[in-house]
Amino acid sequence: MYAASREALTQTRSALESALAGVSAGAATAAAAQTGAELFTAVEVLDGQRTLRAALADPSAPAAVREALAEQVFSAKVSAETLATLKAAAGQDWSSSADLRNSLVLLGRESLLRAADDQNQLDTVEDELFRLGRIVAGNSELEQALSDRARPSSAKRELLSKLLYGKVTAVTEALSNQAVGRLNTAPADAFNELSELAAARRDKAVAHVRSASALSDAQVERLSATLSRTYGKPVTVHVEVDPELLSGLVVRVGDEVIDGSAAGRLASLRKTLK
């Protein structure tokens, strides 16, 4: 994302926060959840209408004209908070219409996570999304069904809804359903990204740990404490058992990978012998 779009995202996020700040305390959680869902719906409209998305992101058109168009299209369909966000987005200068749409998706996700935070469910949502990613990664048929580009988005969402029904929070279901309907990466990776976004809301990092054998609670706590000291912020540890590692751990935090496994050491040794 170029600088223009980053600034546009910052300004639109500010408008969203201001709109939600104006909601009464008793209705704030519901407003955040509704805004998140409605922003997802607005993106679906833009995805399906090339002329509209081009017009809303056209830098040659006056901002007031673009804002008026957003109001004309969405005013009778969304809440006041969502409309304020969409108008603010339309009034910004984006590098591309894709940046506009992707930023609205991000703001929709942030709104839903705000609702989860208000209900003290953020840790639960983070864990549910991580576990969902592991389930999908471990089931090749499910992963193929969710990533099949020839399969309608509605069919993917229906499949996922059946899997999640009654087992996760409403926010987790909404976030994951939106993700599978608009995939640009592997499903498991998309769910992991959402899990990390939930952690980031509380200024946490997420460590994805592959271990040759199961770790005890005490071991997980010690690993979390060590990583928290290393990265200077709380680190949530998610552990996946992978016998193919032979022994040890592989730890991934963001783009950084720490490979302390026997398999990793063997791979390094093979490279030196070539």
Q: Compute the distance between CA of residue 223 and CA of residue 65 in angstroms, rounded to an integer.
A: 54
What would the pLDDT profile of 237-258 be if each residue is shown by its tens digit?
888 888 888 888 888 888 788 8
What letter would DSSP give residue 149? T
Predicted local confidence at residue 274, as pLDDT: 59
Q: Compute the distance between CA of residue 96 and CA of residue 111 in angstroms, rounded to an integer.
A: 23
Q: How confident is the model at residue 136 (pLDDT cuts 50, 70, 90)?
A: very high
pTM for the full predicted model:
0.83
Q: How confident is the model at residue 266 (pLDDT cuts 50, 70, 90)?
A: low
What would the pLDDT profile of 203-234 be if each residue is shown by its tens digit?
888 888 888 888 898 988 998 999 899 888 88
- Contact between residue 143 and residue 136 where contact means Cβ atoms under 8 Å apart: yes
More confident residue, 71 or 230: 71
Q: How confident is the model at residue 169 (pLDDT cuts 50, 70, 90)?
A: very high
% the chain with pLDDT above 70: 97
Its sign, for the CA torsion 154, 160, 162, 166, is negative
In 3-state terms the chain splits into helix, strand, coil percentages (rounded to 5) of 70, 10, 25
